[in-house]
Amino acid sequence: MIINKLLLILIISPFVAALTGKELLDFAVKQYTKAVHEIKTGVRCPSIGKPTATAWDTLPVVTSDFRVGFYPGILWYLYEYTNDKTWKELAITATEAEADIQYINRTHDIGFDIMGSFGNGYRLTKNEKYSKVIVTAANTLATRFNPKVGCTRSWNSKKPDQFIVIADNMMNLELLFEGSRLSGNQTLYDMAVSHTNVTIREHLRADYSHYQVVMFNETSGQVMKKYTVDGYADHSCWSQAQGWLVSGLTTAYRYTRAEHILRAAEGVAKYFIDKSPADGIPYWDYDVPHDSNHTYIPRDSSAAATAASGLIELYEFTKNDKYLIGFKRIIESLSGDRYRADAKPEYKIPALFLNGTTSFKKSIYDTAMIFGDYYYVKSFKYYLNL
């Protein structure tokens, strides 16, 4: 037992020694102080950042894109960590500009958008106006629920019999859980639990990798097809969705305390850790062949950051050191010269780290990703002892 404890200290200690909360926070404040001077907060939100660009690509604040809630979320975390009211004022401006998203029913990503902005805002301010937005948004998302399938619809389809659900959608269920908690509406909670159970049953494989997409028959609820859109192949495991599952299933356990959900969260977490390279940052897909036909295989730092936020919460629930070690390895790597956004003189983007991959197939890789920065900043809580 003593030897095992010593080995654990040796494994963990390099990561503890390399980082402090102050170092992480100082860098984030420096980079986002630059970013806010380039972004029209309350009008546009950052999405993707090319390493040599001086400003982020941006999106309008009210859109169905899943990324617009992350910028307000980062601002809220910076306010929480610094107690600087400048960040609070920016966060309020960015958040309240997105209020109309609560009514958008054409996308499942309303969960990402509302919880990043209004969810964090309510957590820190207890502004009842924000809680009402969360509840309204949860009821909007609930309109996409199909009781035959047991899930909320992810992507819309032109074919009336197709009901498409993606693994990523686990991340949107926090809106249903939180909407239920704030309103007392049990139906919202039941929908989120149902969707979680179907995801575990249909998306997860025996080894806890996943199918990104499951197509159901909208009328019967039967599975029609399992496949991928963003991953390497239908049989492969796309690392970004694996990261979503680590975080999403852990969140579902937070609200339900259901043991079968915890087992699933641990399963996908162990897969993420065990299948990733030594630095904890996965390739964009775990199953891309490393051969002469694939001469360059990008990493996905944003998948790692997402997973890290789930791993540290999973550690808090289980006290399993595997998750703590995995978490620290990721944060240490993202903070090092290989991934950090200021690691080379030619890097100008006011982000925190690079090498994010949204879609290798669409040539979107080796960039800064706003959602990667969000989950990275969220993880600072551990280092700041909050």
Residue 38 lies in a domain: no
- The pLDDT value given to residue 364: 86
Owning domain of residue 111: 59-143
3-class SS at 204?
strand
* Residue % of the chain over a pLDDT of 90: 92
User: What residue spans of 276-339 are helical by DSSP H?
Assistant: 301-318, 321-334
**Residues 236, 211 within the same domain:** yes
- Average confidence (pLDDT) over 198-210: 98
Q: Does the structure show a pLDDT above 60 at 15?
A: no
**Residues 116, 175 within the same domain:** no
Segment 216-275, tens digit of pLDDT: 999 999 999 999 999 999 999 999 999 999 999 999 999 999 999 999 999 999 999 999
Closest CA to 246 of 357, 318, 170, 176: 170
Tokens for 24, please give them.
């992480």
Structural domains counted in the chain? 3
Segment 155-188, tens digit of pLDDT: 999 998 999 999 999 999 999 999 999 999 999 9
Is position 274 annotated as part of the catalytic site? no
Is residue 91 within 8 A of residue 75, CB to CB? The reply is yes
- The pLDDT value given to residue 216: 98
**Residues 63, 80 within the same domain:** yes
Check 57, 84, 109, 279 and give the catalytic one: 109
Q: pTM score, two decimals?
A: 0.94
Residue 40 lies in a domain: no
- The pLDDT value given to residue 10: 36
Segment 56-99, tens digit of pLDDT: 999 999 999 999 999 999 999 999 999 999 999 999 999 999 99
Residue 312 lies in a domain: yes
DSSP state letters, 41-110: TTTEEE-EE-TT-SS--EEESSSS-TTTTHHHHHHHHHHHHH--HHHHHHHHHHHHTTGGGGG--S-STH
Residue 118 lies in a domain: yes
CA distance 183 to 175: 12
- Average confidence (pLDDT) over 15-32: 83
Residues, the chain: 386
Is residue 317 within 8 A of residue 250, CB to CB? The reply is yes
pLDDT band (50, 70, 90) for residue 14: very low
- The pLDDT value given to residue 201: 98
**Residues 104, 149 within the same domain:** no
- The pLDDT value given to residue 362: 79
Residue 51 lies in a domain: no
Tokens for 18, please give them.
């390399």
- The pLDDT value given to residue 18: 54
3-class SS at 163?
strand
Return the exposure string of 219-235: e unless at least 16 CB atoms fall within 10 Å of the residue's CB, then b: eeeebeebebebbbeee
Q: Does the structure show a pLDDT above 70 at 124?
A: yes
Residue 49 lies in a domain: no
Domain stop point among 88, 117, 143: 143
**Residues 138, 200 within the same domain:** no
- The pLDDT value given to residue 19: 75
**Residues 250, 195 within the same domain:** yes
Q: Does the structure show a pLDDT above 90 at 303?
A: yes
- Backbone φ and ψ of 149, nearest 5°: -80, -40
Is position 109 annotated as part of the catalytic site? yes
- The pLDDT value given to residue 347: 96
Check 113, 168, 230, 373 and give the catalytic one: 168
